[in-house]
Structure 1
Amino acid sequence: MLNGHGDDLHLIDGEIKYNFSSNVYYKGCPKALLNEVSKNIHQIESYPSPIANELNILAAKKFRLNSNQFLFTNGATEAFYLIAQLFSDKKAAIVAPTFAEYEDSCKIFNLNYKLISRSEIKEAKADLIYICNPNNPTGHIFSNDELELLFQQKPETTFIIDEAYIEFTDKLTSIVSLTKTYSNLIIVRSLTKTFTIPGLRLGYVISDSSNIEKLLELKMPWSVNTLAIKAGEYIFNNYKNIQFNASKLIAETIIFKGQLATLKDIRVCDSNTSYFLVELLHHSAKELKEHLIVNHQILVRDATNFNKLEGEYIRVATQSKEANSILIKALKEWI
């Protein structure tokens, strides 16, 4: 799905003052990281390393794993297409509603896939199962114990766990350490959301070294550009200092959701993240989105194209107090 997921600012004519549609951290890229990228702009005159493996050592140090357990990619999306290529012609199950790129990559590489609910995982007969944790767009989570039990119960199934939003919740910790125990586990992560660098495209895969070797055989060289590599080096060397506080962000989200919940004709859905669904009980998500763009320069995510999500929904992500208040006022007028 080339359009419809991610930030669709590029499709909109005119100014957007308040962007609630994107799940990246709302305060923007840390200034120190921006400075680091700017400082290295001259390096675009040279080729980057073919597989960005200088980042492997730094990531291995952070997660206390071996460097051969990592593969860096052009955003998390490249990782999903590599995984689908590796499992071409196999059977897949995707826990939905969720990120469309799992489904799209399965189509391209001829995987026989099925969209399933959370309750259907145990009975699913599939070579691989995709789980987004925390999930996009719902913000729902699987506990680490739930996941590990699934890995044990289905050893012949490879689990693709998308942790792109793991740092947008305070109810969950990463399961990267389990890659040392379970060879049927492939984790995909992203640096673009947490550090607000989606334009640089930087994601990575963590898994058993044998799985990484197989993916490397399919990966094209130079897919991670020089500036993305420099950004990655700075991030891993300064992770704790520049990462936002998830608990503070969730506290802001709870206030925002409480304010939205006072409005008529909408239902604010449960979520463990700073983004969440809002069901429109008597209105069209498409019409509301267009109204907010034209009349208020506000962009929300029309979530009606998430498969297995029945009804009229928008997805919003917590922004500044000022922006949140402006959206609430605009919704009151619309309703």
Structure 2
Amino acid sequence: MLNGHGDDLHLVEGEIKHNFSSNVYYKGCPSGLTEAILSNIHHIQNYPSPVANELNDLAAKTFQLNSDQFLFTNGATEAFYLIAQLFSNKKAAIVSPTFSEYEDACKIFKLNYELISRTDLGNTDTDLVFICNPNNPDGTVFSKKELEFLFKEKPNTTFVIDEAYIEFTNSIDSIMPLTENYSNVIVVRSLTKTFTIPGLRLGYIVSSASNIVKLLSLKMPWSVNSLAIKAGEFIFNNYKTLQFNASELLTEATVFKKQLSQLEGLNVCESNTPYFLVQLQNKSAKELKEFLIKTHQILIRDATNFSRLKGEYIRVSTQSKEANIKLVQALKEWL
């Protein structure tokens, strides 16, 4: 990890009472998932299957696709590194500002990459394009129609669509079904955000069977551990019933944004997700983060290290009503 990103709770000394820096669902693991993991703890005594392919059939059934279209990974991040390795020494574009791991993966595997805005996409001629949808950190989205137009117009470009937060928005639908029609599409998904298991690291790739074979040839064995596999089995066997209510979460986010927007000195940015950017006027994001940790045991994301994001920004993710109020009160004090 060259630039670093996301939840840096591990770097903070002392207690954090409210963590706004992580985009995972704030209510924690859904009912039954923790118990399912604990009941399978004995599996750590044995090696897991080399590529976790017992999850393929379950995922295929869940999304009505073919099992040979899936490849499970150690979180979504392993997926990005595998894809970058497959396109090593070629040209790439990254729609920015966005998740830093795309850029890090390109650096490691020596892709000649450029950071572009979404308006530049039509003029970009590269082998690979990374698009986060919905985007992290700002919650902006591409519609299925917009993306399919790109897939058709640029058949020689492979598009990596990161849908890690697709279940945190009602503004768009997944483009996974399009992987049956377009060989130049690779969708990356995550189970860690929706089901609050980032410590287990479980993600997956969805693409054409031919692309999966190529990626599989580069994958290290046993990267997905036994407990992650068992968690995945439980999730896919209960996928719909384990989902949180996105509309409810987005309603909570709307209230939270309104509370923040009433504070002078803050500019709350539009977003299609419960996480969003807040621009600070004449203030330092670094200093605010330090103040909140020291004085209120609150952790936020200093967003100033997102490439192409100019100015002082923080990113916050909607938490409980009580936690949201605590942050608003702390910000009032700081401002």
TM-score under structure 2 normalisation? 0.99
Contact 2:3 2:104 in 1 (8 A): no
Structure 2 equivalent of residue 236 of structure 1: 236
Displacement of 1:282: 1.3
| Structure 1 gap segments, 5+ residues each | none
What is the identity, as a one-letter code, of the residue corresponding to 1:30?
P
Structure 2 equivalent of residue 16 of structure 1: 16
Structure 2 equivalent of residue 331 of structure 1: 331
Change (3 A) 1:218 1:37: same
Displacement of 1:172: 1.0
Q: Report the Cα distance in structure 1 between the residues aligned to 2:6 and 2:39, rounded to whole angstroms.
A: 28
Displacement of 1:7: 1.2
Q: Report the Cα distance in structure 2 between the residues aligned to 1:334 and 1:188, rounded to whole angstroms.
A: 39
Q: What are the equivalent positions in structure 2 for 1:110-149 lying under 5 Å apart? A: 110-149=110-149
Deviations 1:225-272 (A, max 9, x none): 000000000000001111101111101100100110000001000000
Structure 2 equivalent of residue 251 of structure 1: 251
Structure 2 equivalent of residue 88 of structure 1: 88
Structure 1 equivalent of residue 77 of structure 2: 77
Q: Report the Cα distance in structure 2 between the residues aligned to 1:7 and 1:46, rounded to whole angstroms.
A: 31
Structure 2 equivalent of residue 33 of structure 1: 33
Percent identity (aligned): 71
What is the identity, as a one-letter code, of the residue corresponding to 1:258?
K
Displacement of 1:30: 1.4
Deviations 1:18-50 (A, max 9, x none): 000000000001130000000000110011000
Partner secondary structure for residue 65 of structure 2: coil
Contact 2:4 2:100 in 1 (8 A): no
Q: What are the equivalent positions in structure 2 for 1:1-335 lying under 5 Å apart? A: 1=1, 4-335=4-335
Partner secondary structure for residue 122 of structure 1: helix
Displacement of 1:58: 0.3
Displacement of 1:6: 2.2
Q: Report the Cα distance in structure 2 between the residues aligned to 1:155 and 1:164, rounded to whole angstroms.
A: 24
Deviations 1:67-113 (A, max 9, x none): 00000000000000000000001000000000000000000001000
Deviations 1:191-231 (A, max 9, x none): 00000000000000000000000000000000000000000
What is the identity, as a one-letter code, of the residue corresponding to 2:15?
E
What is the identity, as a one-letter code, of the residue corresponding to 1:295?
T
Deviations 1:154-199 (A, max 9, x none): 1110000000000000111101000000000000000000000000
Contact 2:141 2:272 in 1 (8 A): yes
Q: Report the Cα distance in structure 1 between the residues aligned to 2:8 and 2:157, rounded to whole angstroms.
A: 35
What is the identity, as a one-letter code, of the residue corresponding to 2:166?
I
What is the identity, as a one-letter code, of the residue corresponding to 2:59?
A
Q: Report the Cα distance in structure 2 between the residues aligned to 1:3 and 1:134, rounded to whole angstroms.
A: 21
Q: Report the Cα distance in structure 2 between the residues aligned to 1:267 and 1:6, rounded to whole angstroms.
A: 21
What is the identity, as a one-letter code, of the residue corresponding to 2:329?
K
Partner secondary structure for residue 122 of structure 2: coil
Figure out how many residues of one structure are paired with residues of the other and give that number. Answer: 335
* CA root-mean-square deviation: 0.7
Q: Report the Cα distance in structure 2 between the residues aligned to 1:173 and 1:247, rounded to whole angstroms.
A: 14
Where in structure 1 do 4 or more consecutive aligned residues deviate above 4 Å?
A: none
Q: Report the Cα distance in structure 2 between the residues aligned to 1:202 and 1:16, rounded to whole angstroms.
A: 25
Partner secondary structure for residue 328 of structure 1: helix
Q: Report the Cα distance in structure 2 between the residues aligned to 1:284 and 1:7, rounded to whole angstroms.
A: 19
Q: Report the Cα distance in structure 2 between the residues aligned to 1:309 and 1:317, rounded to whole angstroms.
A: 18
What is the identity, as a one-letter code, of the residue corresponding to 1:98?
T
Shifted more, 22-31 versus 197-206: the winner is 22-31
Displacement of 1:3: 6.2
Change (3 A) 1:97 1:132: same
What is the identity, as a one-letter code, of the residue corresponding to 1:101?
E
| Structure 2 gap segments, 5+ residues each | none
Partner secondary structure for residue 189 of structure 2: strand
